[in-house]
Amino acid sequence: MRTYVGIAAVVVSGISPRLSQAAPVFYPTASPLGHWFVSTNVAPGGDGNFASFVTNNFQQAVNVTYTPARADWIADVPGGSHGGVGNWTFFVFRQTFDLTGYNPAVAALTFRWAADDSGEIIAFRGSWIPAFRLNGGAFINYPGSTPDHRIPTYDFSPWITLTKGFVAGVNTIDFYVEGNGQTDGFGLQVQSFTACAGDLNHDGFVDDADFSFFVAAYDILDCADPAMPPNCPSDLNGDGLVDDADFTVFVASYNELICP
């Protein structure tokens, strides 16, 4: 077992608190200009087919105007329609965001979302369950909806927190939504986005609970060790080890306590 001489030395030496780093930025659909883009394909015979989605004609997304209840939703056109029911319309809503200067292993994005249509099959609601993916990873369906248990997606989902799949630098998140051709769209609200070095349990604080996680990883040392937690979140400087250099970063965040 490793000893904690390095940790003790850092504590005794007295690290001065660093200035808080601003949190990374992710925009809700209420503010689409310059942030949300959409690639659209109208394919009347394409219901439910992944091949009906295209990602080669992105344009600026706009807020819909067909009902005040969806003032913070977006589509490719304000009316959200493309010729009426039966003109199945396939949207890929995209936002890119930058984690340069942050540790992607500790990034946590909390949001909720809604989509029209729902993929419930009945009543011209389409066959595609709304889903998203981060950086080209696996699709994640609207919360609670599965091929065997399809549910309405027209109201905002419960809050969900995404903590896996982020990368250093520019990230891309895509939401795949099939509409029936009449008043379609997508909405997303953001609760928080942090990439706070040392917030290892993603609760918005760097405190004693995080210290316990850090010490356990420090004892393992090598990120390649199978005993290390996935993605090695305690490796705060990204060098493949959890050592004294990481603790220097951790204690600075610990002194700040609250993530920016």
- pLDDT tier at 12 (50, 70, 90 boundaries)? very low
Higher pLDDT, 258 or 175: 175
Q: Whole-model pTM?
A: 0.79
Residues 73-130 have pLDDT tens digits of 999 999 999 999 999 999 999 999 999 888 888 899 999 999 999 999 999 999 999 9
Average pLDDT over every residue of 5-13: 48
Share of the chain above pLDDT 90, in %: 70
Classify residue 141 as left (phi > 0), alpha (psi -120 to 50) or beta.
Answer: beta
For residue 215, the tally of other CB atoms under 10 A from its CB is 16
| Per-residue pLDDT, 37 | 99
Q: Would you give the DSSP letter of residue 66?
A: S
pLDDT (mean) for 129-146: 98
Looking at residue 195, its pLDDT comes to 85
Q: Rank 18-22, 41-45, 98-102, 195-199 by mean pLDDT and report only the highest.
A: 41-45
Q: What is the mean pLDDT of the chain?
A: 90
In this structure, of 64-73, 134-143, 160-169, the range with the lowest mean pLDDT score is 160-169
Asked if residue 11 has pLDDT above 60, the reply is: no
Cβ atoms of 2 and 76 within 8 Å: the answer is: no
More confident residue, 14 or 143: 143
DSSP string of 201-243, one letter each residue: T-SSB-SHHHHHHHHHHHHH-BTTSTTSPTT-TT-TTSSSB-S
What's the confidence (pLDDT) of residue 109? 95
Average pLDDT over residues 198-204: 83
CA distances, 64 to each of 31, 79, 80, 119 (Å): 12, 6, 6, 20
Per-residue pLDDT of 159-168, as tens digits, reads 999 989 999 9
**Once rounded to an integer, what is the mean pLDDT over residues 3-8?**
51
pLDDT of residue 67: 97
**Is the per-residue pLDDT at 239 higher than 70?**
yes
| Residue 22 pLDDT | 67
